[in-house]
Structure 1
Amino acid sequence: MTKTLKPFLALVALLAIALALTACGPARTTGADEPRIAGPGQPQDFAAFSEDLMMRMLARSPEWSIFAGRYDDAGEVTIPDAAQRQDELAFVEASLQALAAWDPEALTPDQRIDHMLLVNRLESTRWYQTTFLGWQWMPSSYNVAGPIGLLLNTPYASEEERLRTVMSRLRQVPAYYAAARANIDGPTLEHTRLAITQNRGALGLLGDSLSERVQASGLDPSEVGEFEGVRTAAVAAIEGFVSHLEQLADRLEGRDDVRSFRIGAELYEPKFKYDIQSGFSARELHERALAEKDRLHGDMDAVAVQLWPKYFPDAPMPGDRLDRIGRLIDHLSNRHVAREEFIPEIKRQIPLLAAFVDEHGLVEQDPSRPLVVRETPEYMRGGGAGASISAPGPFNPTADTYYNVTPLDGYSDEEAASYLREYNHWVLQILNIHEAIPGHYTQLLHANKSPSLIKSLLRNGAMIEGWAVYSERMMLEEGWGNDEPEMWLMYGKWNLRVVTNAILDYAVHVEGMEREAAMDLLMRQAFQERTEAENKWRRVTLSQVQLTSYFSGYAEIYDFRERVKQQQGDDFDLRAFHDRFLSFGNAPVPAIIELMAE
């Protein structure tokens, strides 16, 4: 945390999740590709039509297909130029017209949700292309590394076949960055700097290690030579793009007329509507988060009063509740792993979490699909976060799931100490629950088994993040941490991050909150270490709305579970509830609630 240590691009390339998977991004030009309208609108006709439309949407974006585990067009690169955008908008209009031929009320509940998801995706694509215009002012939208990294790391075919596919993509890199440079107009300084950092990471992916890998492969010498020529040209194109951005950043530095990273209410509310698909409006969620912050402070204060004599037997207890909570958290945060043990400790905890979930019968797991903990690839770093999940798509569900953890090599001793205090003995456990088991890793395994391709592919971030946050509290309720008051106090601090994420995002982008006030919210009111707070400030300057997904999804899932428990009484089965809830893929929480009610 993160999908909080979650890099907004990993979201926002995976999930940064992640959200590099969105159809709102570039789509390949395919010419006359209008969806067919079949039949009189009966449910069985809609099932065929909707899946056909979903596959057409997927085929238009080779990048999205790769993330979904489909490699038919993996050698093609979407060139994000004006012709591509025009073609994409024509496809959107034709698809929306075709979807209008069906009355949602005449469909089955499951198909009604699919209809809603398709309409939302197409309308949001149109809005992003014509109104939000991130392709103009967010240079960080452009990076070729993500799909190439997946092709190199996913053994879906022989090494030689995958390298040939990568070579095909590399051939198109110069045209890709030429289009990117032509698109950039009035960028923010923050997104320009991020693009520089992440494209430098792309250079690392395409560097000497790739050249050595090609030479050691089974490609014949002529292909090896061809690959090296293509790789060199691609590297030159990226270096040229980075150099162009560095010069641009120098010109933007210190100017008063540079575009603000804040998007304002006129863009924030529709972005929230399209991205989150919540039962809340953005303003309503903000107000609930403010109330939840006060409630959490009360709960944490009760624990702090209980623990004070244990840790400060000779010191008077402060009269201010934020002061006494903060003093205890500050003291407890000294218990953490050594710098060099951070990633090894994460690896150690994963099987313990899996065993606890099995022992307590909390949710179905699949031991045949292991979780691989790795250092975050360089091209995914720089978004102000340190951990994320890279999960395979529904077309290649048996591929490895990666738990990306950014090493602390780039931190000074002081920064590393601050970071380790933030991810102390208790918080590190909650982080692993969120990212791994039974959080993101577990949920996305279930999503890939969903019979609805649409619900699996059209990922709703609030459901994905909300489940991970819900799983943290659920695990503690079921006994993880042995009900220690220290664990509950640190959980309160962690959960405050979810709440303050939502407060911060809205306050910064809509209400104009400045850095000083944001740091007070994060450090004094949410007890975060300075390194974490500075990373979060960086993140809110680079993303919009995504930080609200954690609290939005969590609040709706937890409220729903409590209603079901009250209705069913002694007949309530927690595992059955979880397995049923996760069976609907990545659909928005309100849609899952509707389907479970049916």
Structure 2
Amino acid sequence: MKKSIVSILFLVLLFSCQKKEEAVTPKDLNKNFENYKENFVTSLWELYPYWAANQGYHKLDSVLVVSDSVYRKRQLDFAHAHLDSLQNYPLKNLSDNNIIDFYMIQNQLKSSIFYINKLRSYEWNPAEYNVSGAFAEILNGKYDDLDVRLHNFNIKMNAIPAYYEAAKANIKNPTLEHTALAISQNLGGISVFEKDLIAALAKSKLSNAEKKEIRGKAKTAVNAIIVYTNWLKDLDNKTPRSFRLGSKLYAEKFDLDIQSSYSADTIFKKAVDHKKDLHGKMFALADTLWPKYMKSTPKPADKLQLIKMVIDKISLQHTTPAKFQSEIEKQIPELEAYVKEKDLLYIDPSKPLVVRKEPAYMAGVAGASISAPGPYDKNANTYYNVGSMSGWSAEKSESYLREYNDYILQILNIHEAIPGHYTQLVYSNQSPSLIKAIFGNGAMVEGWAVYTERMMLESGYKNSAEMWLMYYKWNLRTTCNAILDYSVHTKNMTKDEAMYLLINEAFQQQAEAEGKWSRVNLSQVQLSSYFTGYTEIYDFREMLKKEQGATFNLKQFHEKFLSYGSAPVKYIKELMLKEIKK
């Protein structure tokens, strides 16, 4: 009898397992995973409303998160819960695109845990606390009626005093560099609550009572910002944390942020080798150009000095501070026409690119950048933010313009605009995967922009020895970014050593080198993303060209590569190779 019961139980269990396996087919599992992703993103936005707004999701615009210990616990609970949920979706039964989404979600959740438990930048980076950007986007947005946006602006301001009180409670031993940045950017953002808000209210149809309420809260907001910056200025910080991460934290952050098939150590070694190769190519070009620019001047014995002398001469060809932005505006349609003429890839003419002066609340880190609309706000403007030289000395402006001379400025516009960041981000927003759009991989995004620089010159763009020499100089910057980033954060590279690398070996102007030193003080790993992504993309393309021979189509490669969205290069490569084999 006992044996019979056991046998029956075994059959029941076996039948149940078979039914379960039949019930959840790969098709069903992928459908379930699509539903999971949709619910996951909705929950993600509830936790990160400002991130949601950046992506064009504006249902939570009235919410300002107060980043206190309770909020950090919510973040950790969210990450752990969803890491558990992912275990319900075996990779072997997911589609190729869903496998990438799975990995990107998993990486994001692990990153959240790392940032809170190990990196702990909320304790040492006061610049993480700045409300101006979120409020500026509400004022500048085109996604809703102005009065609706101002109403959200009004409600959102309620949390500003608590926001800055939480910031003060979080900060323990801030770095001096991030403290200075926080003071500068927060004070720069006050105009959002004064001049910018006043201009918006003048156009508004809100009642006088609500306008008065908004103006009153804005004064409270400005006061909270001033109190915070004064608190930072007066902070008794006798033992400030070093801005350097150290080898262990850097390696872990590199793996999570970059998601490369290479380690941080490997990328550093590749960059050092690439620098040597670039120096060789640059010497050959500079030696050829010597008679044209240096006439009968005796050549120096030092090859790097010879390169520098030719570059310095060519760099005298540049625009003026007053015309810097207008020169960029003029070049954008020229680049677009060239890409179309050479049939390099399709560029959607309906997506606007607006060149603007870099907003004050963004100033202090990079000289040029792209602000693109998210996947929910695809019709909004893409902004090309151009740093201003207003208030600079004549000497500093001249140094900056020599760096961004007539040749380099064109390469910068290729990188930032067409067919670089702007073009890639338009494609990313058209990706069927929302996960890839919102978790965009920095190395792929930056790598694509760097790759397009070389690709454009290879296709014949402004082909000359001068342009190639300046391109190699520009590419040397990408290469030395990786060397600098790794060396500063893991090898204790000093400022003097960094300046020697940037000025003597990368041929950068003093102003540019100083700016890069400041940037590596304020960021970690991001400077390595350019070289890492570029190396992976270029090597992949060259591999396909070799394998496919005459059948290789450059435009098809570009459009197929970009169609996967801003996913890590290693996953795009895997999917493209899989499709080619079919």
Pick the TM interval, shorter chain: over 0.9
Tell me what 2:282 maps to.
Answer: 300
Which of 447, 451, 454 is matched with 1:470 structurally?
A: 451
Q: How far has the Cα of 1:435 moved from its partner?
A: 0.4
**1:397-546 aligned within 5 A:** 397-481=378-462, 483-546=463-526
Q: Retained in 1: the 8 A contact 2:65–2:163?
A: yes
Q: Retained in 1: the 8 A contact 2:290–2:310?
A: yes
Check if 1:52 corresponds to 2:52: no
Residue identity opposite 2:392 in structure 1:
Y
Distance 1:39 1:175, change over 3 A: farther
Check if 1:43 corresponds to 2:30: yes
1:87 & 1:389 partners in 2: Cα distance?
31
**1:218-237 aligned within 5 A:** 218-237=205-224
Tell me what 1:19 maps to.
Answer: none
Number of residue-to-residue matches in the alignment: 554
Larger relative contact order (CA 8 Å, sep ≥ 6): 1
Check if 1:275 corresponds to 2:257: yes
Which of 568, 590, 595 is matched with 2:570 structurally?
A: 590
Tell me what 2:118 maps to.
Answer: 131
Q: What's the RMSD between the two structures over aligned residues?
A: 1.2
Distance 1:40 1:173, change over 3 A: farther
Q: How far has the Cα of 1:316 moved from its partner?
A: 2.1
TM-score, with length taken from structure 2: 0.94
Bigger CA drift: 495-504 or 108-117?
108-117
Q: String of CA shifts for 1:168-211, please: whole Å, max 9, x gaps.
A: 11121111111111100111111000000110111121113412
Q: How far has the Cα of 1:162 moved from its partner?
A: 0.8
Which of 241, 244, 264 is matched with 1:259 structurally?
A: 241
Q: Retained in 2: the 8 A contact 1:201–1:379?
A: yes
Gaps of 5+ in 2: 1-22
**Which structure dedicates a bigger proportion of its chain to helix?**
2
Residue identity opposite 1:139 in structure 2:
P
For 2:304, what is the secondary structure of its paired residue? Answer: helix
2:241 & 2:69 partners in 1: Cα distance?
22
Q: String of CA shifts for 1:96-136, please: whole Å, max 9, x gaps.
A: 00101222122122111111001000011011011110011
Check if 1:148 corresponds to 2:135: yes
Greater C-alpha radius of gyration: 2
Tell me what 1:322 maps to.
Answer: 304
Distance 1:49 1:39, change over 3 A: farther
Residue identity opposite 2:482 in structure 1:
A
Q: How far has the Cα of 1:446 moved from its partner?
A: 0.3
Q: String of CA shifts for 1:285-318, please: whole Å, max 9, x gaps.
A: 0000000000000011110111112222312222
2:190 & 2:389 partners in 1: Cα distance?
21
2:83 & 2:115 partners in 1: Cα distance?
16
Q: Retained in 1: the 8 A contact 2:139–2:200?
A: no
2:179 & 2:542 partners in 1: Cα distance?
45
1:222 & 1:338 partners in 2: Cα distance?
48
Q: How far has the Cα of 1:43 moved from its partner?
A: 2.4
Tell me what 1:353 maps to.
Answer: 335
Q: String of CA shifts for 1:212-256, please: whole Å, max 9, x gaps.
A: 4314411111111111111111111111111111112xx44xx5x
2:513 & 2:455 partners in 1: Cα distance?
26
Q: How far has the Cα of 1:547 moved from its partner?
A: 0.2
Check if 1:75 corresponds to 2:57: no
Bigger CA drift: 152-161 or 519-528?
152-161
Q: How far has the Cα of 1:258 moved from its partner?
A: 2.0
Structure 1 stretches of 4+ moved >4 Å: 38-41
TM-score, with length taken from structure 1: 0.91
For 1:415, what is the secondary structure of its paired residue? Answer: helix
For 2:383, what is the secondary structure of its paired residue? Answer: strand
Check if 1:555 corresponds to 2:535: yes
Tell me what 2:50 maps to.
Answer: 63
Which of 173, 192, 200 is matched with 1:186 structurally?
A: 173
Gaps of 5+ in 1: 1-37
Which of 292, 300, 309 is matched with 2:291 structurally?
A: 309
Tell me what 1:15 maps to.
Answer: none
Q: Retained in 2: the 8 A contact 1:70–1:396?
A: yes
2:61 & 2:203 partners in 1: Cα distance?
23
Q: Retained in 1: the 8 A contact 2:370–2:416?
A: yes
Q: Retained in 2: the 8 A contact 1:215–1:224?
A: no
